[in-house]
Amino acid sequence: MATDEILQLLVGNARLTSGEIAERTGRPEGEVKKAITKLEKDRVIRRYKTVVDWEKMGEEHVFGFIEVRVSPEREVGFDAVAERIMGFPEVHSLYLMSGTYDLLVVVEGKTMREVAYFVAERLAPLDHVISTATHFVLKRYKVDGDVMEERAESKRLPVTP
Amino acid sequence: MAETRSRIASRVGALPPSGIRRFFDLVEKMPEAVSLGIGEPDFVTPWRIRETAIYSLERGHTHYTPNQGTRELREKLASYLARKFGAAYDPDAELLITVGASEAIDVALRTILEPGDGVLVPQPCFVSYVPCVVLAGGCARPVSTVAEEGFRVQVEGLAQADDGNARALLMGYPNNPTGATLTRADVEGVVGYAAERDLLVVSDEIYAELTYDGSHVSVASVPGGKERTILIGGFSKAWAMTGWRLGFAAGPAEIIEAMTKLHSYTVMCPPTVAQEAAVEALEGCEGEVDEMRREYNQRRRVVVNRLNAMGLTCFEPRGAFYAFPSIASTGMGSEEFAERLLREEKVAVVPGAAFGDCGEGFVRCSYATSMSVLEEALGRIRAFVERVGE
Ligand SMILES: Cc1ncc(COP(=O)(O)O)c(C=O)c1O
């Protein structure tokens, strides 16, 4: 239970110190430190990331969602194809899907052309890839649980009973 | 010439303005102030609930409901109370949906009090208890509670304040402003006293869901409690629904029937859209409520820890979202402390005296505010306390 709470706090803010976590959870700091070390060692905590709003840095980031149909290989199924796809740094995420296509490849690039190029030059020609369908992201509303647009908070009265 | 009569009825004119009001006026002129004076959640109502309300409006559910509240909400409420409060109520005869716990308190008192009836009111307490008693024709008999006892009402205190004509006991645990909760033994003691003196208990348990240590013990759940208790609750706190104005009263059929009569003449029924949304609150929001409780609990630990560290001794609040530190170490009265803190450090807290005489020497700090605001406010309070202590 306590580990759960530690993880949740770190997911919300990876920079919280053990001291801060200890204060919030009411556990001794040493215990929190030990728990975190163990979580890191067991690779429950894989790494600490920073969520960046690249647009504020004036950088364009284009995302394409590519539906890929694949003829699976004997013995290794989809995994071998997936393996070849995920090695490219342009590939942001890769999922095996149920439904009308097999792999969903999320490709990140600076321009649409760059993403389209990657699909045409790298993805489509791969062995076992039967077809691709590229969908470009026009607007990101919510990503990984974060609502992108910052809204003004609804105001509360400054003092209430 | 005949003296012109005041246009304000004397019983209203004589009511003192709330001790919070003055502070409100001061803080309002200071938009840059950081406020720990807010008695409502900082969270917005969970989306699931808001979305249900939108759907309700889309379907055109914009008419009156039965006075008592919709049957669906009363049914859901009955099963919720059985599950969480350990008290079984008949949704047809023993439940009334009200316009906030506020209305339930007012209507309960007006329903049970004859002019001059005494009402024992443990203090510090929510600011509207005493005015509601007075407006209902009763006489409030303050019962002091103290930090050393964790601000829990004790039978000896009740007996001391009881002058023999008490008709009822009006209390709220988990408590606003202290954050105190009662143990099962406390509740049994109180109910035992009420039974011995044949008192009705008006028990405002609106903060029940926000109990951090152990679980909430409802007055209606102990032997002999339910039959003499008007249990009051609402959606404002745990579901972050203050603006929706929805609460409830649960009690003996005879009393609920009489309260419903009064309520039907004054408000007709609570807002329809809020009632439909509240069904979702009771049915589908356990996860959201848990999440908010967890966050309040984290803030609670930080606030209590820091206040104690800076010498503002703070007993451990076990419920609601308030800390109630003693400011004795500063040598100031609570009004002076709050006013200087506001002027010098631009942090708003509420002087304890606003919640009853025995609240003097304390201030209420609400932690229904984001961690970053809390950290900022606590830093400023520490700077203030260090400066005045030199
Ligand atoms: C103890 C207590 N009772 C009742 C209320 C009023 O709640 P409602 O919004 O349901 O009228 C409050 C609100 O601050 C409170 O603190």
The predicted-structure confidence for A20-49, as pLDDT tens digits, reads as follows 999 999 999 999 999 999 999 999 999 999
Answer yes or no: do B40 and A156 touch at CB < 8 A.
yes
**B360 pLDDT tier (thresholds 50, 70, 90):** very high
Answer yes or no: do A24 and B302 touch at CB < 8 A.
yes
Percent share of chain B, pLDDT over 70? 99
Q: Judge whether B1 lies within some domain.
A: no
Count of domains for chain B: 2
DSSP letter for B6, please.
P
DSSP letter for B285, please.
-
CA distance A144 to chain B (A): 17
Question: Would you state the pLDDT for residue A67?
Answer: 98
**Could you tell me the two tokens for A73?**
């290989």
Question: Would you state the pLDDT for residue A1?
Answer: 56
Residues B169 and B223 in one domain: yes
Indicate which CATH number applies to the domain containing B303.
Answer: 3.90.1150.10
Is the pLDDT confidence value at B390 over 90? no
Residues B96 and B245 in one domain: yes
Per-residue pLDDT, averaged over A59-67, amounts to 94
Query: For residue B84, which of B256, B221, B274, B250 has the smallest C-alpha distance?
Result: B221
**Could you tell me the two tokens for B269?**
């029924």
What is the per-residue pLDDT across B287-319, written as a single tens digit (0 to 9) for each? 999 999 999 999 999 999 999 999 999 999 999
DSSP letter for B51, please.
H
Interface test with A, best of B301, B316, B365 (most A CBs within 10 A): B301
B363 lies in which domain range? 10-45+287-388
Residues B108 and B38 in one domain: no
Residue A141: is it exposed, middle or buried by C-beta count within 10 angstroms (0-12/13-18/19+)? Answer: exposed
The residue type found at A123 is L
Question: Would you state the pLDDT for residue B1?
Answer: 59
Residues B53 and B191 in one domain: yes
Query: For residue B249, which of B113, B109, B117, B115 has the smallest C-alpha distance?
Result: B109
CB neighbour list of residue B146: distance below 8 Å, 6 or more residues apart: B358
CB neighbour list of residue B245: distance below 8 Å, 6 or more residues apart: B99, B100, B270, B271, B274
CB neighbour list of residue B188: distance below 8 Å, 6 or more residues apart: B222, B223
Instruction: For chain B, give the mean pLDDT.
Output: 96
Indicate which CATH number applies to the domain containing B258.
Answer: 3.40.640.10
**A2 pLDDT tier (thresholds 50, 70, 90):** confident
What is the per-residue pLDDT across B57-66, written as a single tens digit (0 to 9) for each? 999 999 999 9
Q: In this complex, is the C-beta atom of A38 within 8 Å of any C-beta atom belonging to chain B?
A: no
Residues B64 and B96 in one domain: yes
Any residues with Cβ below 6 Å from ligand 1, and which?
A: A 161; B 39, 100-102, 126, 172, 176, 204, 206, 234, 236, 242, 247
Is the pLDDT confidence value at B83 over 80? yes
Q: In this complex, is the C-beta atom of B39 within 8 Å of any C-beta atom belonging to chain A?
A: yes
Residues B70 and B145 in one domain: yes
Per-residue three-class SS string for chain A: CHHHHHHHHHHHCCCCCHHHHHHHHCCCHHHHHHHHHHHHHCCCCCCCCCCCCHHHHCCCCEEEEEEEEECCECCCECHHHHHHHHCCCCEEEEEECCCCCCEEEEEEECCHHHHHHHHHHHHCCCCCEEEEEEEECCCCCEECCEECCCCCCCCCCCCCC
Chain A, 50 to 79: residues with Cβ < 8 Å from chain B are none
Question: Would you state the pLDDT for residue B298?
Answer: 98
Is the pLDDT confidence value at B96 over 70? yes
What residues in A contact B339, CB-CB < 8 Å?
none
Residues in chain A: 161
Which chain A residue has the Cα nearest residue B126? A161
Q: Judge whether B3 lies within some domain.
A: no
Q: Are B238 and B211 in contact (CB under 8 A)?
A: no
Answer yes or no: do B298 and A158 touch at CB < 8 A.
no
Which chain A residue has the Cα nearest residue B37? A159
Question: Would you state the pLDDT for residue A123?
Answer: 96
DSSP letter for B200, please.
E
Last residue of a domain, one of B284, B308, B332: B284
What is the per-residue pLDDT across A97-152, written as a single tens digit (0 to 9) for each? 999 999 999 999 999 999 999 999 999 999 899 999 999 999 999 998 888 888 77
Q: Are B25 and B338 in contact (CB under 8 A)?
A: no
Query: For residue B260, which of B276, B274, B249, B246 has the smallest C-alpha distance?
Result: B249
Residues B136 and B248 in one domain: yes
Last residue of a domain, one of B284, B318, B334: B284
Name the least confident of A32-46, A53-67, B94-108. A53-67
Q: Judge whether B4 lies within some domain.
A: no
**A53 pLDDT tier (thresholds 50, 70, 90):** confident
**B75 pLDDT tier (thresholds 50, 70, 90):** very high
Q: In this complex, is the C-beta atom of A26 within 8 Å of any C-beta atom belonging to chain B?
A: yes
Question: Would you state the pLDDT for residue B132?
Answer: 98
Residues B186 and B307 in one domain: no
Question: Would you state the pLDDT for residue A70?
Answer: 95
Residues B27 and B89 in one domain: no
Distance of CA A159 to the CA centre of its chain: 41
The H or E element that residue B26 is part of is helix B19-28
